[in-house]
């Protein structure tokens, strides 16, 4: 017998002893929403909440009117931080914006050089959703150019559309299920603020291993 069978045999044997009962079964999404932090159903209120959460998380939100405005404000960020090289992925918003900066751009095509990515000053990605409840950005290996682009460079820049904002975590998960319908990307990540640690005397330090800065451009 292999270990898989051994383990299942032990599990089934163990479960013959009936558990002390706990009524209820699996909770519904409505039950989850009933206990979790409340979020208004109004878009403007959700936007205000997302702003407030981002500020607390020390993520920066930049509102932009259109693509031109986006390029102007991205260029300002480039100058402010003195970027020499950026990385981006193939996507409507990300690649054109990255290329407008007039800097060398590493594009994360399959098989890109990860050592080179480590030398980039910023990783520019799109996302799947923004979550008002927690100030999170939902990215996947498909929407954000793989796994490393949103995590290896010291500054993660996200370009999102206003309508990508959802109220809460249950909605974000429901949307994932609907959008990918079983054919999920191999990585799905809720990013909530720039990388951080409190491992030394519980004192907050940003940029532990991932990006020290997180900027969200909202078109």
Partner 1 sequence: MTSPASQFTTDAGRVAPDLRHRGIIQAAMGKYETVRDQRKKWFQDWEGARNLAARTKFEAVNHLDRYLEEFVSKLEARGTKVHWASTSAQAREIIFSILREKDAKVVVKSKAMTSEEIHLNAAMAEAGYEVVESDLGEFIVQLREEAPYHLVFPAMHLTRGDIKETFEDKLHITSSDNPEDLTMVARRVLREKYLQADVGITGANFAVAETGMISITENEGNARLTAALPKTMITLVGIEKVLPRITDLALFLPMLAVMGTGQALTCYNTMYGGPRQADEADGPEEFHVVLLDNHRTSLLADAEQRDALGCIRCGACLNVCPIFKNIGGHTYSTTYGGPIGSVITPHLRGLTQWKHLSDASSLCGACTETCPVKIDLHHHLLQNRRNGAKLKPSLFQKTAFKLFAPVANVRVLWSLTTQLSRIGMKVRGLVNGSIIDPAHAWTKTRELPPIAPQSFREWWKERQ
- Judged by DSSP in three states, 17 sits in coil
The reply on whether position 29 binds partner 1 by CB under 8 A is yes
- Judged by DSSP in three states, 107 sits in strand
Query: Shortest gap between Cβ of 54 and partner 1 (angstroms)?
Result: 12
Secondary structure (DSSP) of 120-153: -SEEEE--SEEETTTTEEEEETTTTTSSSTTTSS
Q: Which one among 53, 94, 97, 215 touches partner 1, defined by CB under 8 A?
A: 53
Q: Which one among 3, 44, 79, 80 touches partner 1, defined by CB under 8 A?
A: 3
Distance CA 178, CA 171 (A): 10
Distance CA 110, CA 209 (A): 23
Rounded CA Rg of the chain: 21
Backbone phi, psi, residue 110, to 5°: -50, 135
Backbone phi, psi, residue 106, to 5°: -90, 125
The reply on whether position 130 binds partner 1 by CB under 8 A is no
Distance CA 64, CA 186 (A): 31
Region of 63-71, 77-85, 93-101, 112-120 interacting with partner 1 (CB under 8 A): 112-120
Q: Which one among 43, 68, 84, 114 touches partner 1, defined by CB under 8 A?
A: 114
Range 74-93, binding partner 1 (CB under 8 A) = 89
Query: Shortest gap between Cβ of 52 and partner 1 (angstroms)?
Result: 11
Query: Shortest gap between Cβ of 206 and partner 1 (angstroms)?
Result: 8
Q: Using the minimum distance from each CB to partner 1, give the nearer residue, 163 or 174.
A: 174
The reply on whether position 1 binds partner 1 by CB under 8 A is no
Backbone phi, psi, residue 92, to 5°: -55, -45
Query: Shortest gap between Cβ of 78 and partner 1 (angstroms)?
Result: 23
Query: Shortest gap between Cβ of 126 and partner 1 (angstroms)?
Result: 13
Range 149-208, binding partner 1 (CB under 8 A) = 149, 151-152, 168-170, 172-174, 176-177, 182, 184-203, 205, 207-208
């Amino acid at each position: 017998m292999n270990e898989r069978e051994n383990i299942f045999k032990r599990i089934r044997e163990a479960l013959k002893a009936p558990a002390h009962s706990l009524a209820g079964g699996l909770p519904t999404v409505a039950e989850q929403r009933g206990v979790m932090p409340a979020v208004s159903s109004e878009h403007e209120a959700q936007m205000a909440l997302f702003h407030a959460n981002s500020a607390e998380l020390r993520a920066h939100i930049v509102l932009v009117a259109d693509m031109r405005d986006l390029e102007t404000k991205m260029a300002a960020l480039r100058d402010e931080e003195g970027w020499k090289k950026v990385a981006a992925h193939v996507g409507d918003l990300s690649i054109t914006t990255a290329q407008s900066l007039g800097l060398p751009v590493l594009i994360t095509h399959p098989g890109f050089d990860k050592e080179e990515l480590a030398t980039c000053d910023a990783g520019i990605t799109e996302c799947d959703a923004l979550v008002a409840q927690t100030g999170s950005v939902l990215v996947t290996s498909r929407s954000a150019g793989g796994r490393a682009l949103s995590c290896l460079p010291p500054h993660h820049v996200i370009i999102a559309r206003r309508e990508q904002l959802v109220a809460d975590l249950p909605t974000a998960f429901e949307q994932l299920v609907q959008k990918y319908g079983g054919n999920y990307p191999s990585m799905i990540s809720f990013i909530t603020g720039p990388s951080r640690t409190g491992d030394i005397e519980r004192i907050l330090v940003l940029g532990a291993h991932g990006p020290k800065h997180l900027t969200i451009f909202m078109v």
